[in-house]
Amino acid sequence: MARTRDLLADNASLRARLAASVSRSDRLARSHPRWIRGGSLLEPGPEADGLRRDVRGRLIEGGLPSPARLVWAHRGTGTRCSVCGMNIPETEAEYEVRVDGAALFAHVPCFDLWQEEATALGIVPNDEDFGPGARPDMES
């Protein structure tokens, strides 16, 4: 009987810790500028609008270059997204974009937003870095 009470007490303690972890995780997810529900799409709302304004401003000021038309998609590598600034986890796809000789990385929905804002501003996609040898780890 004492063993059962001990196990029940341990179980209650584990459930309380799990509930606290889930709550903390939920708060962190909701604070992320790309908070998602059921997929990797930007949810309409103030966070997405703020990111859109930030991207537009960075494009106008030159802080974010024109996106390329051709990108490489692969599993996230933990690299920081050039658009939203958050790391891209291995559980998400990331786009690798070559612009002005540099590799930039973006979440798929962040790249889409980057491309939409560049198009809205009439900025021409940057395709000069493509051709043989454009990506060092690819054979020419």
**Residues 43-59: tens digit of each pLDDT:** 555 667 888 899 999 99
pLDDT over 80 at 119, yes or no: yes
Summarised one tens digit per residue, pLDDT across range 58-95 is 999 989 998 887 889 999 999 999 999 999 999 999 99
CA nearest neighbour of 81 among 114, 106, 109, 56: 106
CA nearest neighbour of 118 among 50, 74, 56: 56
Domain boundaries, the chain: 1-31, 33-131
Between β-strands 93-99 and 102-107, what pairing exists: parallel, antiparallel or unpaired? antiparallel
Task: Indicate the DSSP class of residue 4.
Answer: H
| Surface-to-core class of residue 127, CB atoms within 10 Å of its CB (0-12 exposed, 13-18 middle, 19+ buried) | middle
Please give the average per-residue pLDDT across 9-29, as a whole number: 63
pTM of the predicted model as reported, rounded to 2 decimal places: 0.60
Q: What percentage of the chain exceeds 70 in pLDDT? A: 66
